[in-house]
Chains A and B, each alone.
Chain A
Amino acid sequence: MEQFRQGDVFLEKVSDLPAEIKQTIQPTNNQSELLIKGESRNHGHFIEGDVETFSVEPTENQNEIITHYLNVKTESLLKHLKIDTKDFTKEHSEIKLKPGVYKVVRQREYNAYQKAINIVKD
């Protein structure tokens, strides 16, 4: 399935929403939604368009650290913006997402001292 990457955020199209997500999580559907907030900077990855966003509590030490599922209804945009002004950061260009279901995965790294897998802090 199609894959996209915007910096440390990775999106992959999936055939459908997992049943437990559909049953347990109430989606939000705003025209613009902050998906991932940069840890140390005023930057974030936003999804803009008619999209149902299912927020998942990310668990570290997983093979894929999933933070959201997106149900994109009409063509939408993944943007990298400044959180306060919503201006383009001039870092990662926007990515067009065709209708469909996507999972949002964070980049991870291995911590040899704790034998643990952590989300990469941006």
Chain B
Amino acid sequence: MDEKHIKQLIKSLENFAFSEINEMILGLNYDYVLANTMFIKQFYKQLSLKIPKILIAQNPEDFHLKFQELKIYEKPIEISSHKFWVNFNASPIKISLEEDKIFTELAKAAKGLFLSSFYAISQMVEQRIKMSHPKFIASHPSLNINYHAIYWLKKFHAKYLNLPTKNLQELFSKTNIFWSKTFENTFLYCPFPKSIHFDENNLLHAETSAAISWEGFDLFAWRGIEIPKRWILNPETINNQEIIGQKNAELRRIMQEVIGSERFAHLLGLQKLDEDYDLQGNLQTLYKTAEIDSIAKDYLYFARVACPSTGRIYFLGVPPGLNNIWDAVAWTFGKTKETYKPIIET
């Protein structure tokens, strides 16, 4: 494999869509526990320690509780990532020079790509655990970030590539250690979530389910921000009081996206400012809210418009101060009613 080929692989990694991650997790039906056990044994051997007792947490919260209990009896060993990799490279697992080179290059590229997403997941999980366990001290991703990068990289390989890195592939593609703590006699770990959903911008996002889920531990997220489970599972319960009571602008905007601008606007109470038929004969209306929005510090304005072909209704936010529906529609394309004159609309 030459330089050019490696560059191509890195390029293909850059186009990697996180939305595919979930499919990858579900698509691979390995005996993870067995693979993890083999990996941990190998790892302890490299540290010249005897094979530990392996403790598996069901989810990050369980991981935290088990860790709290364990550390009463045992002192965790801090393994620096450097030490781990030096050990690993000196291990009896034979890695050819070629494998090593390809891997180093790809891991470097993958690390940059995946880093922010790992931290996004870890941070969100940590925040949540802190809510019920204020003393929770953030645990760093297992072993090191390289491991995570390589974890995804291997999933990526398993699906798309056929690299001559069989030994490492064997080891990494079948393990699924998300968080871990190393003790002299015990190795505690929490596996990767059962499912993770990202949006097209690689932000944690799921519109009909949890964005991340483990056994007994779910997180719901909208474009990278954690939201209450109820917004996704029972959005009909969102009411006027809850919208007005929500003082965080980001969360209020998410509510608008979750329930749709139309319901959002109706819940706020609307005044009709202007209406007219569009070129297809659909009624289009300009509204403003009855009250000044406490966060936006102004009335909210919406144009209710119909798609020229499908007739589907859209509620689009428009700037305050407009009073003519044609101006509002024209504004959505950067025009005024005088300059917006499409000769064909489909």
Contact = CB atoms under 8 A, between A and B. Distances in A.
Given A5-B342, A5-B346, A112-B300, 17 more contacts: A3-B340, A4-B342, A5-B308, A7-B307, A7-B308, A10-B342, A91-B309, A92-B309, A105-B334, A108-B332, A109-B316, A111-B253, A113-B249, A113-B250, A113-B296, A114-B249, A120-B314
A20 interface: no
Nearest to B300: A112
Contacts of A107: 316, 332-333
Contacts of B253: 111, 113-114
24 contacts: A2-B343, A4-B342, A4-B344, A5-B345, A7-B307, A7-B308, A7-B346, A10-B333, A64-B334, A91-B307, A92-B310, A92-B346, A105-B334, A107-B332, A109-B316, A110-B316, A110-B318, A112-B300, A112-B320, A113-B249, A113-B295, A113-B296, A114-B249, A120-B332
Contacts of B319: 110
Contacts of A94: 346
B263 interface: no
Chain A facing B: main interface SS: loop
Interface string A88-108: 000111110000000001011
B310 A3 contact: no
A15 B316 CA distance: 31
A26 interface: no
A3 B342 contact: yes
A113 B346 contact: no
B242 interface: no
Contact of B341 (A3, A62, A93): A3
A82 B136 CA distance: 48
B105 interface: no
A39 interface: yes
Nearest to A37: B200
The 6 A-B pairs of least Cβ separation, nearest first, read A64-B334, A112-B296, A113-B249, A109-B316, A92-B346, A3-B342
Interface residues of B, number: 31
B23 interface: no
Contacts, number: 80
B343 A4 contact: yes
A95 B333 contact: no
Contacts of B340: 3
Q: Pick the most buried of B317, B318, B340: most chain A CB atoms within 10 A of its CB.
A: B317
A85 interface: no
A6 interface: yes
A30 to B, nearest CB: 18
A3 B320 CA distance: 26
Nearest to A118: B317
Interface string A1-28: 0111111001000000000000000000
A49 B250 CA distance: 43
Contacts of B128: none
Interface string B59-85: 000000000000000000000000000
Nearest to B200: A39
A72 interface: no
A114 B249 CA distance: 8
B98 interface: no
B317 A111 contact: yes
A112 B287 CA distance: 14
Interface in A12-54: 39
B72 to A, nearest CB: 47
A26 B317 CA distance: 35
Given A93-B346, A112-B298, A120 B308 contact: no
Q: Pick the most buried of A80, A113, A115: most chain B CB atoms within 10 A of its CB.
A: A113
A70 interface: no
B103 interface: no
B140 interface: no
A80 B307 CA distance: 14
B198 interface: no
Nearest to B312: A91
Contacts of B301: 110, 112
A18 B345 CA distance: 26
B242 to A, nearest CB: 16
Contacts of B298: 112
